[in-house]
């Protein structure tokens, strides 16, 4: 009985992230439009776009290989699994131990690997430019992320997200410089990883600075729908990650009842709205950077993460 219940909660989590991801994207778009006094597309527009794309035929470039056709599903699957492993409304889910935070990052790395390859498949210059820039950004964002994981894992004595979130809820935490550094670095990495302003612009096309959009330029129809959905899921994943690590309040602990779960769900929705609002505000207030300034931005994130970790190594006490 308990197993069935756990399975049900795990399945809820998987469908929840899938269902909410386009909504978060739509919410941010709407809010950004309102902030610059435009009407903006309706909140549900991303769902409609996805449905429309899925029903259309795919136009494949003449020399596209099997990799080009398989990659969208792999990208989507890796991102979805990663997103489903991040605690959203409850910790200690049935399969939460099957991959820790390092594995979740690596799963996102797999998704990026295949996206970058798919971009090079047709052999256009846009695909190449997107792919090579994405990998350049990743070479700095990934180590920064690992450094953030190090500082959190050293504090909590675990790389399991559920354990870290439980530790963050416990009274041992207190205010720590390392945590502040990790939060700032994580936000910077999240911005870069999700191709948001100031690193990349999700709303642009035909601009020499684009990265993500350049990679998916040759995709159409259902393939594009799956990739767009994966991109939304990735954004949701990072928001959930920040929320569960730094705003863990309301998370239902393992084996809790219906009320706790309901509170967890409501607080999760609140956190999503808050993060989406802040992101929209930030993006309207800031200009995009030149692509070769991105390394400086990410280098700062890497340094912050590294200093945070170093601080833990040299300081005494508090480590588990």
Partner 1 sequence: MIPTSVELLLECCAALLGLSAFAVPFARRAWATPLVYSACLVVALAAGGLALRHLLMAAPAPDSVVLPLGLPWVGARFRLDALAAVFLVVVNLGAAVASLYALGYGRHEPEPQRVLPFYPVFLAGMNLVVLADDAFSFLVVWEVMSLSSWALVMARHRDADNARAGYVYLLMASFGAICLLLAFGLLAGQEGGYAFDAIRSHPPSPIAAGFVLALAILGAGSKAGLVPLHVWLPLAHPAAPSHVSALMSGVMTKVAIYAFIRIVFDLAGAPAPWWSLVILAMGGATATMGILYALLQNDLKRFLAYSTVENVGIIFIALGLGMAFKAQHMALAAALAVTAALFHVINHSLFKSLLFFGAGAVQGAMGERDMERFGGLIGRMPQTALAFLIGCVAISALPPLNGFVSEWLVFQAILLSPKLDASALKIMIPAVGALLALAAALTAAAFVRAFGITFLGRPRSVAAAEASETDRWSRAAMFACCGLCLAAGVLPGFVIDAIVPAVQSLVGGRMTPQAAQPWLSIVPIAEARSSYNGLLVLGFVAASASLAAFVIHRFGSHAFRRAPAWDCGFPDPSPATQYTAGSFAQPIRRVFGPFVFGVREEVDMPAPGDTRAASIRVVVHDRIWETLYAPIAGGIDYVAGRLNHLQFLTIRRYLSLVFLALVGLLLVLAIWL
Question: How far apart, in whole angstroms, are the C-alpha atoms of residue 291 and residue 204?
Answer: 14
The answer to whether the beta carbons of residues 153 and 159 sit under 8 Å apart is: yes
Question: How far apart, in whole angstroms, are the C-alpha atoms of residue 74 and residue 83?
Answer: 14
Closer to partner 1 by Cβ: residue 40 or 295: 295
Tell me which stretch binds partner 1 (CB under 8 A): 132-140, 171-179, 251-259, 270-278. Answer: 132-140
> 235 by DSSP, 3-state: which?
helix
Which of 45, 132, 256, 284 forms a contact with partner 1 (CB under 8 A)? 132
Question: How far apart, in whole angstroms, are the C-alpha atoms of residue 62 and residue 7?
Answer: 44
Q: How far is the CB of 4 from partner 1 (least distance, A)?
A: 17
Site membership for partner 1, residue 59 (CB under 8 A)? yes
Site membership for partner 1, residue 7 (CB under 8 A)? no
Which of 25, 159, 232, 267 forms a contact with partner 1 (CB under 8 A)? 159
Q: How far is the CB of 36 from partner 1 (least distance, A)?
A: 26
Strand partners, 90: 252
The conformational region for residue 92 under phi > 0 = left, psi -120 to 50 = alpha, else beta, is left
Which of 76, 89, 238, 268 forms a contact with partner 1 (CB under 8 A)? 76
Which of 29, 30, 32, 112 forms a contact with partner 1 (CB under 8 A)? 112
Query: How many residues of this chain bind partner 1 (CB under 8 A)?
Result: 87
Closer to partner 1 by Cβ: residue 160 or 240: 160
Closer to partner 1 by Cβ: residue 49 or 121: 121
What separation in angstroms does the CA of 6 have from each of 194, 254, 257? Answer: 31, 9, 11
Site membership for partner 1, residue 310 (CB under 8 A)? yes
Report residue 90: phi and psi, to 5°: -145, 150
Contact string (CB under 8 A) for partner 1, positions 275-304, x = contact: ----------------xx--x------x--
What separation in angstroms does the CA of 178 have from each of 188, 252, 298? Answer: 15, 26, 18
Which of 33, 35, 102, 300 forms a contact with partner 1 (CB under 8 A)? 102
The answer to whether the beta carbons of residues 215 and 131 sit under 8 Å apart is: yes
Question: How far apart, in whole angstroms, are the C-alpha atoms of residue 113 and residue 42?
Answer: 33
Site membership for partner 1, residue 253 (CB under 8 A)? no
Which of 49, 121, 193, 283 forms a contact with partner 1 (CB under 8 A)? 121
Q: Chain-centre distance of CA 311, in angstroms? A: 27
Which of 26, 87, 127, 248 forms a contact with partner 1 (CB under 8 A)? 127
Question: How far apart, in whole angstroms, are the C-alpha atoms of residue 138 and residue 300?
Answer: 14
| 97 contacts: CB under 8 Å, gap ≥ 6 | 160, 162
Residues in 190-229 that interact with partner 1 by CB under 8 A = 205-206, 217-218, 220-222, 225-226
Site membership for partner 1, residue 36 (CB under 8 A)? no
Q: How far is the CB of 242 from partner 1 (least distance, A)?
A: 20
């Amino acid at each position: 009985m308990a197993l069935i219940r756990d399975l049900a909660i795990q399945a809820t989590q998987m469908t929840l992230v899938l269902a909410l991801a386009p909504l978060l994207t739509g919410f941010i778009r709407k809010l950004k439009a309102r902030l610059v006094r435009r009407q903006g597309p309706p909140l549900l527009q991303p769902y409609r776009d996805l449905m429309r794309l899925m029903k259309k035929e795919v136009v494949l470039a003449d020399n596209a290989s099997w990799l080009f056709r398989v990659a969208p599903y792999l990208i989507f699957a890796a991102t979805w699994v990663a997103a489903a492993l991040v605690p959203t409304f409850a910790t200690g889910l049935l399969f939460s131990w099957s991959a820790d935070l390092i594995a979740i990052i690596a799963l996102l790395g797999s998704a990026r690997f295949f996206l970058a390859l798919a971009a090079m498949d047709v052999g256009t210059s846009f695909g190449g430019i997107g792919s090579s820039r994405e990998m350049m950004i990743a070479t700095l964002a990934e180590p920064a992320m690992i450094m953030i994981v190090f500082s959190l894992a050293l504090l909590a004595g675990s790389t399991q997200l559920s354990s870290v979130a439980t530790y963050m809820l416990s009274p041992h935490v207190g205010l720590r410089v390392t945590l502040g550094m990790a939060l700032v670095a994580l936000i910077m990495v999240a911005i870069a990883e999700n191709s948001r302003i100031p690193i990349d612009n999700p709303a642009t096309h035909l601009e020499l600075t684009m990265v993500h959009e350049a990679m998916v330029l040759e995709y159409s129809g259902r393939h594009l729908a799956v990739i767009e959905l994966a991109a939304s899921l990735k954004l949701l994943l990072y928001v959930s990650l920040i929320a569960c690590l730094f705003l863990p309040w309301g998370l239902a602990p393992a084996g809790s009842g219906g009320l706790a779960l309901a509170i967890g769900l409501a607080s999760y929705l609140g956190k999503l709205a808050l993060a989406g609002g802040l992101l929209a505000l930030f993006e309207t207030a800031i200009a995009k950077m030149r692509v070769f300034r991105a390394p400086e931005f990410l280098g700062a994130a890497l340094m912050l993460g590294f200093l945070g970790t170093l601080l833990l190594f040299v300081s005494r006490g508090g480590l588990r």
